[in-house]
Amino acid sequence: MTIKHVGVVGCGAMGSGIVQVILQGGYHVIVQESSEQFLEQGLARVEKGVAKLSAKGSISEEESRNMLASLSGTLNTADLKDCDLIIEAVFEEIEIKKELFNTLDGICKPETIFASNTSSLSITEMSAATQRTQRFVGLHFFNPVPLMPLVEVVKTLSTEPDVIQDALSFAKSIGKVPVLAKDQAGFIVNLLLTPFMLNAMHAAANGVASVGDIDKAMKLGCNHPMGPLMLADFIGLDVIYNACQVMFEEYCDARYAPPPILRKMVLVGNRGLKSSRGFYDWSDPKKPVPWMAEGQF
């Protein structure tokens, strides 16, 4: 299938990054949001990202204008009816996603490929809300999308081989490196990464070391770009909490059970970078500092 027109539902931090890299790949993109405010904010993020590329010389001014000319926004789901591929990047709630895809299924042409950017929810369950389970995949991008090269392409038992190849080719065409995974909770990266972050939370809560020293040890001892607790803040503690619940339910494995400290922090609104407080104080995003002293958990 030749993909020319791509729809993206949701233009938050992830959605806007996905839109930007698709525009860089030379596609026409239509973004759908739930309100005028969210749409304006999302399009502004995309325009800012494109402007940065132009300012750094990564693209010419003409390329910048052409990219933005290929972008449109809408509040009407029906405007996505002619898209060849639709990528969903809305809130990580399975019922919201199922309702969205069910609506799209009744609007879009039969050959349209549906894809979800979910990090852990069941692609199979989402696809079952449609009549096109064979044309449904996961396309899991990583944050920040313009900088992170990986895309997990997730196949279900029903996904047609041609659709899998179309998804892999599409990811390559927008400058990403795709890896193929089967539909199981966590896919590849989160399946392996989540226990690592949860173990770091247990270590901090049990007084093994301070937040800062745990992260420093993993950075310097394992040559990681950032420690597990700072990474958790960056991803979003609420996102991790929801993801580990999904994985714990699927695998019944204690490695994925959310630690009490994680649940407590999410309950009081400490979600990490996006709320300015998690395991670190992010009041100055360029200089995050651990805010909980040893023993305060």
What is the set of active-site residues?
119, 140, 152, 190
* CA dist., res. 153 & res. 115, Å (int): 9
C-alpha–C-alpha distance, residues 118 and 140, integer Å: 6
Helices marked H in the chain: 13-24, 36-55, 61-69, 94-105, 123-127, 161-173, 189-205, 211-222, 228-235, 237-251, 260-267
Element (H, E) at 72: strand 71-74
Cα distances from 282 to residues 75, 106, 139, 197, 276, in angstroms, run: 33, 43, 30, 19, 4
Count of residues in the chain: 297
Computed from CA positions of residues 153, 168, 144, 188, in that sequence, does the dihedral angle turn out positive or negative?
positive
Give strand pairing partners of 152: 140, 179
Which residue in 3, 8, 32, 9 sits closest to 21, CA to CA?
8
C-alpha atoms less than 13 angstroms from C-alpha of 288 in its C-beta half-sphere: 24
Please name the residues in contact with 69: beta carbons below 8 A apart, sequence gap of 6 or more: none
